[in-house]
Amino acid sequence: MDISILQDLGLRESEIKVYLSLLRLGESNAGKIIEKTNLHNSVVHRALNRLIENGLINYIQEGKHKIYTATNPSNFLNYIDEKKKRFMNILPKLQEEQNKSNSDNSATIYKGKRGIKEIYNKIIESKGNEYNTFGGGKIVTFDIMGELWWTNFHTKRIAKGIKSRQIFDKTLIEFGNKLNKKPLTNIRFLSQEYEQLVETIIFGEYAAIIIFTENPYGLLIKDKTVVNGYKKYFEALWKIAKKK
């Protein structure tokens, strides 16, 4: 079982060990937990206190001893919701700080699949009313990001009311025709010789260049001159691209 997500949620390694040991032990006193986890007495008690504060374990008092039990794992959803609420309270201030430092022009590099997904997330959250792309190919769609991920991306885009015009090469004609049946979607095709591992995106005040190598990375550019240049190139390609 991959428990790395518990660390991503902010639990310390000792807290994860204590929580999992309680799931397996059921009701237990601190002594049994110490024996099960091989952690120091003080470490276990700190972990227990933090888990209680976060609503992930409960206890009852039996004489001088506390008997602990893990709450239902679904309580992690409440834990996540609480973190989200706390974050949402400071989000406006964080955005305000970012806006203070933003210049008119900028370029940011994003690395790995997680970084690439962040660029596409910016498209979903952007105020642009159309999203344009050219480049990419069958390897990008099916081998690197996966068809399901792209389908989900377009579902979110459409839900946000963002139109798209995209230029695929003919290796993606089947997938492109599926997308063309969706609302707010217009895809045209160029010959297979245009297939590549680079996709160029234009949306709102941004342009992005995504390089889908084994370790993908992308460059997100905020510069009117660059964006307008890519828009002109896109429109030139759009005129020669075919609907099927």
Q: State the pLDDT at residue 45.
A: 93
Q: State the pLDDT at residue 9.
A: 84
The answer to whether residue 61 is domain-embedded is: yes
| pLDDT, mean of residues 214-228 | 91
What's the mean pLDDT when you consider all of the chain?
A: 89
> Can you tell me the distance from the alpha carbon of 11 to that of 70, in angstroms, rounded to the nearest whole number?
15
The answer to whether residue 117 is domain-embedded is: yes
Query: What does residue 50 show for φ and ψ, rounded to 5 degrees?
Result: -70, -40
Q: State the pLDDT at residue 101.
A: 58
Identify whether residues 234 and 172 lie together within a single domain. yes
| pLDDT, mean of residues 218-243 | 94
| pLDDT, mean of residues 97-123 | 83
Q: State the pLDDT at residue 100.
A: 66
DSSP 168-195: EEGGGHHHHHHHHTSTTEEEEEE-GGG-
Domain encompassing residue 205: 104-240
Q: What is the pLDDT of residues 155-208, one digit of tens each?
A: 999 999 999 999 999 989 999 999 999 999 999 999 988 888 899 999 988 999
Asked if 164 and 154 touch (Cβ cutoff 8 Å), the reply is yes
Does residue 67 surpass a pLDDT of 60? Answer: yes
pTM for this prediction: 0.59
Identify whether residues 30 and 111 lie together within a single domain. no
Q: State the pLDDT at residue 95.
A: 80
Identify whether residues 108 and 211 lie together within a single domain. yes
The answer to whether residue 221 is domain-embedded is: yes
Identify whether residues 51 and 125 lie together within a single domain. no
How many independent structural domains does the chain possess? 2
Domain of 33, CATH number, reads 1.10.10.10
In angstroms, what CA-CA distances link 95 with 85, 101, 128, 223? 16, 10, 19, 20
Identify whether residues 64 and 179 lie together within a single domain. no
- Is 79 or 14 the better-scoring residue by pLDDT? 14
Q: State the pLDDT at residue 6.
A: 87
The answer to whether residue 32 is domain-embedded is: yes
Tokens 């699949």 locate to 113
Identify whether residues 120 and 70 lie together within a single domain. no
The answer to whether residue 85 is domain-embedded is: no
Identify whether residues 72 and 143 lie together within a single domain. no
The answer to whether residue 91 is domain-embedded is: no
The answer to whether residue 27 is domain-embedded is: yes
- Is 141 or 233 the better-scoring residue by pLDDT? 233
- Is 89 or 1 the better-scoring residue by pLDDT? 89
Identify whether residues 59 and 127 lie together within a single domain. no
Using DSSP's 3-state secondary structure scheme, residue 241 falls into coil
Asked if 163 and 129 touch (Cβ cutoff 8 Å), the reply is yes
Domain of 163, CATH number, reads 3.30.870.10
The contacts of residue 29 (CB under 8 Å, 6+ apart) are 65, 66, 67, 68
Identify whether residues 15 and 130 lie together within a single domain. no
Q: State the pLDDT at residue 102.
A: 56
